[in-house]
Amino acid sequence: MAKAPDILLGLIGKSLGHSLSPVIHGAFFDELGLSGRYDKIEIAQEDNWASRIDRLAQDGYVGLNVTIPYKLDVMPALPDLDKSAVLAGAVNTIRIDPEPVTGFNTDGSGLAEAISKMNLDDQVSTSGDLGSAMILGNGGAARAAVIALSSLGYKGLKVLSRKSQSAQVMLGDILNGADRLSLKENCSNALVCTFDQLSGLDTGAIGDLSLVINATPIGQKDDFVPDELVRFFEQIGDKKKTFVDLVYAKQPTPLCKVAQAAGFGKVEDGKEMLINQARLAFKIWTGQLPDGELARTRLNEMA
């Protein structure tokens, strides 16, 4: 009889067919020489998350990732929430063993690690100022970006959103849970603007912009990029600026192509964030932090 894996992990969500997480975590097990398995656990609908998680625990799962559409739904069923989950307002990682079952969110710190690895030192002014950053979107990934950029020391955040009220709600939510001064200041002082206000932004508002992050699904399902965004990228693009698209794909994403054509110096898609949020989740479950090189190689081989 085949020996059961020592470490049983899984991903709960809906429509998981294209998820790369099993490849990434499989690579982590191999990199660290651990015996384990990472399963996709498709859940069509769930009315009782506490008993579902209890059943998964009885089946031997010690850790779970949570993805769309359940990142918020699972929260009330968890006996304990780490500060990362409270701040993000969502759970992407559940630690089942040891008790108490605890929810975490590794998206913000995963994005911060991904940006740190881009070595953006050449953007730092002689006074040590990183410049400001613009975040597109006001959903879960945008929240992660506000948290990540504040922890990295970016100031003067700009949030670009279809509806300014949704962006204000997001910033207010984060502010409510924030205890670090840099995060509080960024949430209180962020400039919110809508797509149709982009062309009217004056140089005072965008003069020190060094980083733009897309946290919307623009470019995920098709190649459509709003005209006002293309024009804005053309207006601001230069070698000193960086664009990070949280959307990821085998080929360069539509927005990465627009940023490259507009002359941004560094352009990256969301694979590195994906790997880094997974590294941090793996450490929560196993106590060991993979460096992720094997996962990068395997993702590239799939391209």
Nearer Cβ to ligand NAP, position 54 or 230? 230
Residues 6+ apart with CB under 8 A from 4: 60
- Phi first, then psi: what are they for 137, rounded to 5°? 115, 165
Size of the site for ligand NAP (CB under 6 A): 23
- Of the candidates 57, 23, 55, the residue with the CA atom closest to the CA atom of residue 40: 23
39-65 burial: b if 16+ Cβ within 10 Å, else e:
beeeeeeeeebeebbeebbeeebbbbb
Counting contacts by CB under 6 A, is residue 22 touching ligand NAP?
Answer: no
- Contacting residue, 52, 155, 162, 296, with ligand NAP by CB under 6 A: 162
Residue 1, token pair as written in the block: 């009889």
Counting contacts by CB under 6 A, is residue 141 touching ligand NAP?
Answer: yes
Residues forming a β-bridge with 135: 159, 213
Helix axes 21-32, 293-302, angle to 10 degrees: 140
Binding to ligand NAP, residues 42-81 (CB under 6 A): none
In angstroms, rounded to a whole number, what is the distance separating the alpha carbons of residues 104 and 82?
5
Counting contacts by CB under 6 A, is residue 216 touching ligand NAP?
Answer: yes
Q: Which residue is at the shortest CB distance from ligand NAP? A: 139
Nearer Cβ to ligand NAP, position 68 or 124? 68
Q: Out of 3, 14, 40, 71, pick the active-site residue.
A: 71
- Contacting residue, 248, 264, 282, 285, with ligand NAP by CB under 6 A: 248
Counting contacts by CB under 6 A, is residue 274 touching ligand NAP?
Answer: yes
Residue 271, token pair as written in the block: 């694979």
Shortest distance (Å) from residue 217 CB to ligand NAP: 4
In angstroms, rounded to a whole number, what is the distance separating the alpha carbons of residues 204 and 225?
26
Helix axes 254-261, 227-236, angle to 10 degrees: 40
Counting contacts by CB under 6 A, is residue 163 touching ligand NAP?
Answer: yes
Is there a catalytic annotation at residue 240?
no
Nearer Cβ to ligand NAP, position 123 or 161? 161
Three-state SS at 160: strand
Counting contacts by CB under 6 A, is residue 217 touching ligand NAP?
Answer: yes
Counting contacts by CB under 6 A, is residue 135 touching ligand NAP?
Answer: no
Binding piece for ligand NAP, criterion CB under 6 A, among 72-80, 116-124, 131-139, 198-206: 131-139
- Of the candidates 186, 180, 114, the residue with the CA atom closest to the CA atom of residue 143: 186
- Contacting residue, 66, 183, 259, 273, with ligand NAP by CB under 6 A: 273
The arrangement of strands across the sheet holding 36-42 comes to 36-42, 7-13, 61-66, 93-95, 102-104, 80-81
Counting contacts by CB under 6 A, is residue 166 touching ligand NAP?
Answer: yes
- Point out which residues bind ligand NAP (CB under 6 A): 107, 137-142, 161-163, 166, 215-218, 220, 246-248, 270, 273-274, 277
